[in-house]
Structure 1
Amino acid sequence: MDGLATRNDETRAFSLEERSFSRGELPCGARAGDYSVVTPIARGGCGAVYEARQLRTGARVAMKVLHGTLAASPKMVKRFLREIEVVRRLNHPGIVEIYDVGELADGRPFYVMEHLDGLTLDVLLRQEGRFSPEQALDLLEPVCSALDAAHAAGIIHRDVKGSNIFVSRGAPRKVKLLDFGIAKLMEAEDGPTGFTTAGRAPGTLTIMAPEQILGGPIDARVDVYA
């Protein structure tokens, strides 16, 4: 009996499947409304992105789902829904298009967007090395155009960096500005810094303007700085 009790009390590391389940990750074939998960694409601080298929048409799409560990936080759910609101305000070829919005069976929100075939600018730079001025301008011009549209709509991106710029494969290259998850509306919302923890401004330190780092009032110039 003592030996049995000892074996039952033994601890072990979680398996990969158990860790994925605890984080709320979706397995291949999981259903989300009218969509079926094909494979994971990327995982960020707020949500995971999956390749998916629309069951009715077979169309290939991308689906972003809020992390399971964040779903219990009303603030994080609100921020995720704000991202959807922000992107849907914009209709620009340099900003990803959202097709559909829904909830998983566990209540987590998700949204469906166009599927992009390519890689992010930071990965492209590591693969191809330094660009010529002409190549750099070809990539930066559509990013600036997308930011101009966002700013005209009263939206500050707040996280313009290589990993949030997507470049399609083939020629001509299409460039998309991604991840409006910490975007700020230039209208009154939740105080001067929006969805932040007190004393901590959201963003990526290496590309943040000084006023953004300090958590003070910001405007579209922080995106120009980035």
Structure 2
Amino acid sequence: MAAPQAAPDLPEKGAEADPLLGRVLNDRYTIVSAVGHGGMGRVYKALQAPLDRVVALKVLGAGHDRDPNFYKRFFLEASVTAKLTHPNTITLYDYGRTEDGVFFIAMEYLNGRTLSQAMQADGPLAQERVIHIAQQICRSLREAHALGIIHRDLKPANVMLLTQQDDHDFVKVLDFGLVKFFSGETTESDITNAGTFMGSPHYIAPEQARNRSPDQRCDIYSLGVLLYHMLTGRVPFTATAPVDIILKHLHDAPVPPAEARPDLKIVPELQEVVLRCMAKDRDGRFQSMDELLGQLKAVRSRLTGATPQTSTPEPRANASSGAIAQTPPTPPPGLRTPSQPMSALRATPPRGMSRPPPPPPADAFAEQATPIRRPTTALAAWRQVLSPTMVAALKVGVAPALILVAGIGAAAYVLRAPLHVPVVHVPPPSLQPRPSVAAPAASPVVTIPPAPPAPSVTFVTVTSAPSGAEVRDTNGDLLGRTPLHLRVPSGRILQITVRRDGYRPVSLSRKVEGEHAAVSVTMRSAKSGAPESRPQKRSTGYKDDPY
């Protein structure tokens, strides 16, 4: 293959002439205007043909093509990032390279503002708003982690807030350009360069700064710093030099948010979530985005006073009282199994079988004089309509008419009765209540025994660093490869063994409970005493990239 041509140098910030403006890349993307720039290149507004669709076109800066491994890394990252389809993740449409060596990525064009701009304009955000934004970030990264991808550069500039209908904080997570796969590749085939600093100093996880096999938990640390920033309006660690900020992430404990801003009255439950995300030891953090998302839901329900959605509904005196806090679309999350015993519900008799009616009251047959009020009211209304003369005529004519009708009825009865049948005097019915007639020997009401409740199921997500490891049960049967999703009856002991060539096998025995559970395994190389790779140099700063 011929050596690739050198990419044209992109103009520096503030330069008047931009050779890419007006250019058409690969006969599809017409560059209209510049949107922003960052450490990896520039972002342009472009028009895609033949769809006439407006896209954000990220053009990587010059110099990357001089790296012999860049070509492979670029297309590997772009191809995997294109698989991310969650609504809270920016959509990647296309990627490629021009004949003169320009690498580009075409993404959806977003009209909104970054979280960084929102915090600069609004200051510290309300606690419920903070949780709402964080929940959407969790859902976006949960999909990425399930594919074995970690973001590694989560910061306010990489979170876009859009307005969609009634939601003014709809999140889009941007810039997976620093993604890393927690897979078992060698150092030579790693998609990141050794000695290259990856991430932003204010939000970097300790193990990421040390380059000690970062996994999905480094994104949880960065999200914890992001929560701290949104709640207090400031980052937990500051210094004049980026290296000093990194050292504080390694060694200093953050000031609790409620102490940093006592005027904001941050609830202890939310502060506990933030500090747990920022634990120095990654084993002390939340182990998955599912676990963090569940805790955020619980804290949000306490803040709003709403009843959290659980598998066991609590009885309420009034069905209209209270409200359930719902997270915007999302979306949704797993199957629920009934945990309330069916016997607690009122049994319904089967069709065709009814219960014996209750006995009538003692005065059911007693004759009572009931005043007739409606006719009186109606007659009074007619009197207002009819003239006095007509009323008098009615009084005179009604009585003879009634007598005539009664006579005709009596004559008809006598004529129709048989002559040979003697008249039998029927005594009037007794005013005493009729004795209750014993019901025939009917079978008692059959109560259908409640069906046993279906066993609760826990959805278990098994991940490993590196991914692609075999997961086997106690019999040695292959269940799949990580990342793997299992359905396990709640309360059972999950016993698995995780194996991968070149790594020591890991056996786990853990009781699973709840709706979701996450099992994360960090595997050690079979080569004992292998020296740890450390970066040779780190960058001295970073630039915000809106994409």
Secondary structure in 2 matching 1:71:
helix
Equivalence map 1:67-82=2 (5 Å)? 67-82=61-76
2:171 to 151, 169, 175: 175
CA shift digits 1:91-139 (9 cap, x unpaired): 1111111112232241222121111111211111101111101111121
Q: Equivalent residue for 1:185?
A: 181
Shift of 1:158: 0.8
- Tell me, yes or no, if the aligned pair for 2:159 and 2:171 is still in contact at 8 Å: yes
Secondary structure in 1 matching 2:34:
strand
Structure 1 pair 68–206 and aligned structure 2 pair: CA distance change class (3 A) = same
Q: Hey, what's the Cα distance between the residues in 2 that align with 1:102 and 1:196?
A: 19
Identity of aligned residues (%): 34
Q: Hey, what's the Cα distance between the residues in 1 that align with 2:75 and 2:112?
A: 26
Kindly indicate whether residue 171 of structure 2 is the aligned counterpart of residue 205 of structure 1.
Answer: no
Q: Hey, what's the Cα distance between the residues in 2 that align with 1:188 and 1:88?
A: 21
- Tell me, yes or no, if the aligned pair for 2:91 and 2:107 is still in contact at 8 Å: yes
Q: Equivalent residue for 1:56?
A: 50
Structure 1 pair 19–192 and aligned structure 2 pair: CA distance change class (3 A) = closer
What's the TM-score once normalised by structure 2's chain length? 0.36
Structure 1 pair 113–191 and aligned structure 2 pair: CA distance change class (3 A) = same
Kindly indicate whether residue 124 of structure 2 is the aligned counterpart of residue 130 of structure 1.
Answer: yes
Secondary structure in 1 matching 2:31:
strand
Secondary structure in 1 matching 2:178:
coil
- Tell me, yes or no, if the aligned pair for 1:201 and 1:214 is still in contact at 8 Å: no
Equivalence map 1:18-37=2 (5 Å)? 20=11, 26-33=19-26, 34-37=28-31
2:36 to 42, 45, 48: 42
Structure 1 pair 190–26 and aligned structure 2 pair: CA distance change class (3 A) = farther
- Tell me, yes or no, if the aligned pair for 1:47 and 1:67 is still in contact at 8 Å: yes
Q: Equivalent residue for 1:166?
A: 160
- Gapped runs of 5+ residues in structure 2? 1-8, 223-547
Secondary structure in 1 matching 2:11:
helix
CA shift digits 1:42-88 (9 cap, x unpaired): 21212221110123232111111111232332333433323312311
- Decide which structure has the larger Cα Rg and report it: 2
Q: Hey, what's the Cα distance between the residues in 2 that align with 1:176 and 1:83?
A: 19
Report the number of matched residues.
208
Q: Equivalent residue for 1:14?
A: none
Which range is displaced more, 26-35 or 73-82?
A: 73-82
Equivalence map 1:89-108=2 (5 Å)? 89-108=83-102
Structure 1 pair 86–63 and aligned structure 2 pair: CA distance change class (3 A) = same
Shift of 1:193: 10
- Gapped runs of 5+ residues in structure 1? 1-17
Structure 1 pair 195–202 and aligned structure 2 pair: CA distance change class (3 A) = farther
Question: Which residue identity does 1:57 align to in structure 2?
Answer: L
Q: Hey, what's the Cα distance between the residues in 1 that align with 2:65 and 2:140?
A: 30
- Tell me, yes or no, if the aligned pair for 2:160 and 2:174 is still in contact at 8 Å: yes
Q: Equivalent residue for 1:8?
A: none
Which range is displaced more, 154-163 or 64-73?
A: 64-73
Q: Hey, what's the Cα distance between the residues in 2 that align with 1:75 and 1:26?
A: 27
What's the TM-score once normalised by structure 1's chain length? 0.82
Secondary structure in 2 matching 1:20:
coil
CA shift digits 1:190-226 (9 cap, x unpaired): 4399444435541112211111111111211100000
